[in-house]
Amino acid sequence: MKFGQHLRTGLIKEYNDYYIDYDGLKSELKHRLYPANSRYKAPNAKEWTEDDEAGFVAVLEAELDKVYTFQKVKAGEIVRRIKGAEQEVEAVIKLLERNTRRRASVAAGVPDTETESEPNDEEFEMLEADLSDVISDVHDLAKYVQLNYTGFQKIVKKHDKQTGWILRPVFAARLNAKPFFKDNYDAFIVNLSRLYDLVRTRGNPAKGDSAAGGSQQNFVRQTTKYWVHPDNITELKLIILKHLPVLVFNPNKEFAPEDSAISSIYYDNDDFDLYLGRLEKSEGAEAHRLRWYGGMDTQTVFVERKTHREDWTGEKSVKARFALKEKNVNDFLAGRMSVDQVFEKMRKEGKKSVAEIEDLEALARETQYTMIAKRLHPLVRSFYHRTAFQLPGDARVRISLDTELTLIREDNHGRKRAGDNWRRMDIGIDWPFKNLPAEDIERFPYAVLEVKLQTQAGQEPPQWIRDVIASHLVEAVPKFSKFLHGTATLFPKDIKILPFWLPQMDIDIRKPVTHRFGIKRLHQGSTTGTSEDDSDTDITSPSSPTSLRRRLPIPEPNGRSGVPRAAGNLQDEEERAGEGPEEEDDFFAEDHPLYDSDGEDSGLESDDDEPYHWYSPHDNYRVLRRKARNVGKKLVIIGRYLVPKPIPSVEPGSNVGFNTPAGAGRKRFIAPPGKRIFVPVRIEPKVYFANERTFLSWLEYSIYISTIAATLLNFGDYRTRYASLGFMVLAIFTLLYSMTMFVWRHQKIRRRRAVRYHDAWGPTALCFLMLVCVAINFGIKSVSGGKGVIPLPGKGGAPHPTPLSQMGIPTEKNGMNGYSRWGGIN
């Protein structure tokens, strides 16, 4: 759909007068290019002059000033409302604490002299409603900023294309002076999460060590991963915080962006053995990384090892880690520092049990041996800001959202990056890392949502989690790995096997909006950000699957990656940083992919709202062609229903998003030349046994068919030999076909290839050939009268049987009037 229509249907009514006047700017551009009462008709525009440029820029500046001023006023209002709500909540909490202490004193025999009332549920409900309104305001402001941001993108791009004057770099500088789009709402979310948790739990939030995750050594969880488009990040955070609080490790410290920064260094050797093991999900495949939280001055580094276990083994994949001082990392990895030296201080302090320390020492020895024996070196760094949602001290449900994900090369191939150090020191956490060359960095276009559950066997996840993962806000990508994605994109010449999601990066993951799901105001009961027009869905509406889930044009492969890059899915800030030094400050690096071009191909904006158009004789041809195309489509659909095909069964209660790769069933992707796409295939020992059972079943049927052939050959007449020959050929064909299929399936299973293992034509061909052979035998018997004799005329024209001995067929007497037991006369 066109952006003008999207803006009209997606705007918030309360903010209606403060949006960018997109239609007015288009009219300004149109009227200056094609003045009224002139001979200038589309596509012959008049020459754009300096006066036209100055007039258009003045109108554009006024719109920018309007949007910037409103955003600042609204953000200040939200800050004041959050502070007011904080004061109200703290007052109620202090009253609860005083009443608790007073009751304890009365129980101890101290007389009660105070007469303060207890806060009731109605007061908490009012506070919850106020906080919900603030949450809705944050959501509305984020949507407001996103729409206006895209509007300025579109109109400046239209100006540059139609006038030939380049306004993007100049206007980008003016936007940087009024950066309404750069506000970070994470501080709002953290404060609102804390207040909402206090109100929701009636002043009794969950207690526990918020840093429990930092001290936990082994992690065994059911983890599912999803992609989140940048347009949906703030809304998703606000939805989750209503059910789970934001996990804050240090509640006494004011929130800062570096508090959520996480960096990891992944190690591998020159043969990429760890990459291939993790990609193919081999039993016992390991991943080794070093992780730290915060900036580069952090002194504690976690050495982690992930081990993959197949489900059929009865074991679960586990992540184990131990802490190490940053100054000791190089010596430990090189073997110059022993494991006993690493844990010497821990033994003296006695904060952990002897068994725990021994487990950590065993892990450290195995890690140090692997690093040295396999010649592992730093390969890829991942950086992102993580917002974690979890009850303190309770890891049963944990949701993390990683934004601004960036993958950076750490190896020394081609040029010296990390050197002899365990990590490169020329960068820190200054995202988007503009100083790095394009071949050293990969900016991931989406946020990554991880849902980690520790549920009992047969227990379903909470309903709100199922609603979130089934909504339009997320796209399921099972088995997604930052390490695999970074290695495949940063080393295109060395990696020949690609993850299954990589060729699908150019597909827009946004889906039709679920109107019954989202941020709601308690006093209205309706989702914010919707309008009356949302209920009318047509071909061009935002909720139409054909307009959103469409195949985008595949961009040209860049020089660094062997696969197409995502076109338009990147945040514009990220695209601007990745354009190179000449366009680092270009605000309009790439157009938004969701909206059509607003008639840019014609050079003039078409009138969307004009209800009628003049009749043209060409309309009849267009109508007939459209009807013929629709009839052809219906015939194809009917043909598909008539052709039998296997229907896969879905396990009841299972979530398809947990098991189906993103984009599966929509398009068959072709790997780039010289590369192969690896699709995850579930391989267990019973799969090999199933292949053997199938082969034995075919072998059994071939034996039955050969038995029929031998019977017809030994006990039939010379005419049945043709049917016997047909059955024998069919038996041999069945045996060879089943053996070929068994060997082919065995090789594909062993190599974990995602191919069609279902045999759609073999059983059908076997039944058809069986029918042909039976028909031949039936025809022979019908011609011969059903006996092994040939009828000849006798006396009176009556036929009589011919002795079998005259036909050259041996007989066996049975002593009964000279007749054989086969019905002939000897």
- 163-173 per-position pLDDT tens digit: 888 888 888 88
Confidence of residue 391 (pLDDT cuts 50, 70, 90): confident
pTM of the model: 0.66
374 and 487 inside one domain: yes
226 and 160 inside one domain: no
27 and 138 inside one domain: yes
8 and 75 inside one domain: yes
In a domain, 543, yes or no: no
> Which has the closest alpha carbon to 786: 777, 799, 773?
777
The residue from 169, 187, 205 where one domain ends is 187
pLDDT reported for residue 602:
38
How far is 292 from 323, CA to CA, in rounded Å? 10
Give the residue-averaged pLDDT of 352-357.
86
Q: Pairing between strand 676-678 and 497-499?
A: parallel
Count up the domains in the chain and report the number: 3
CATH of the domain at 368: 3.20.100.30
Count the alpha carbons within 13 Å of 16 in the hemisphere toward its beta carbon. Answer: 6
Question: Tens digit of pLDDT for each residue in 149-193?
Answer: 888 888 989 888 888 888 888 888 888 888 888 777 777 888 888
Residue count of the chain: 826
pLDDT exceeds 50 at position 128: yes
In a domain, 172, yes or no: yes
Phi first, then psi: give them for residue 789, nearest 5 degrees.
-130, 165
In a domain, 207, yes or no: no
Task: Judge whether 241 and 189 are in contact, CB under 8 Å.
Answer: yes
180 and 272 inside one domain: no
pLDDT exceeds 60 at position 524: no
180 and 247 inside one domain: no
For the chain, percent of residues with pLDDT exceeding 70 = 70
The residue from 136, 170, 187 where one domain ends is 187
Write down the mean pLDDT value for the chain: 74
3-state helix, strand, coil in the chain (%, to 5): 45, 15, 40
The residue from 187, 209, 242 where one domain ends is 187
Q: Which residues have C-beta within 8 Å of that of residue 42, sequence separation ≥ 6? A: 34, 602, 603, 604
127 and 224 inside one domain: no
In a domain, 594, yes or no: no
In a domain, 607, yes or no: no
pLDDT reported for residue 206:
66
For the record, the structure tokens of 614 come out as: 């003049």
Residue 19's domain spans which residues?
Answer: 3-187
Confidence of residue 650 (pLDDT cuts 50, 70, 90): very low
Phi first, then psi: give them for residue 625, nearest 5 degrees.
-65, -40
In a domain, 124, yes or no: yes
In a domain, 634, yes or no: no
pLDDT reported for residue 483:
93
Geometric angle at alpha carbon 23, from 568 and 547, rounded to 5°: 40
Lowest mean pLDDT among 447-456, 462-471, 613-622: 613-622
Confidence of residue 377 (pLDDT cuts 50, 70, 90): very high
Known active-site residue 26? no
How far is 727 from 701, CA to CA, in rounded Å? 12
183 and 225 inside one domain: no
In a domain, 280, yes or no: yes
What is the 8-class DSSP label of residue 571? -
Location of structure tokens 């509406």: 541
Q: Pairing between strand 819-820 and 222-228?
A: unpaired
For the record, the structure tokens of 751 come out as: 């190599």
For the record, the structure tokens of 251 come out as: 């509640």
Give the residue-averaged pLDDT of 134-152.
87
238 and 111 inside one domain: no
Query: Which residue is catalytic, options 74, 158, 482, 520?
Result: 482
Give the residue-averaged pLDDT of 610-617.
42
Phi first, then psi: give them for residue 380, nearest 5 degrees.
-135, 140
174 and 228 inside one domain: no
Geometric angle at alpha carbon 277, from 272 and 281, rounded to 5°: 150
388 and 528 inside one domain: yes
pLDDT exceeds 80 at position 62: yes
pLDDT reported for residue 192:
84
> Which has the closest alpha carbon to 151: 8, 22, 29?
22
Confidence of residue 227 (pLDDT cuts 50, 70, 90): very high
For the record, the structure tokens of 167 come out as: 């306004």
Lowest mean pLDDT among 240-244, 590-594, 764-768: 590-594
Confidence of residue 821 (pLDDT cuts 50, 70, 90): very low
Confidence of residue 644 (pLDDT cuts 50, 70, 90): low
279 and 414 inside one domain: yes
Question: Tens digit of pLDDT for each residue in 468-522?
Answer: 888 888 999 988 999 999 999 999 888 888 888 888 888 888 888 776 677 766 5
> Which has the closest alpha carbon to 501: 475, 480, 470?
480
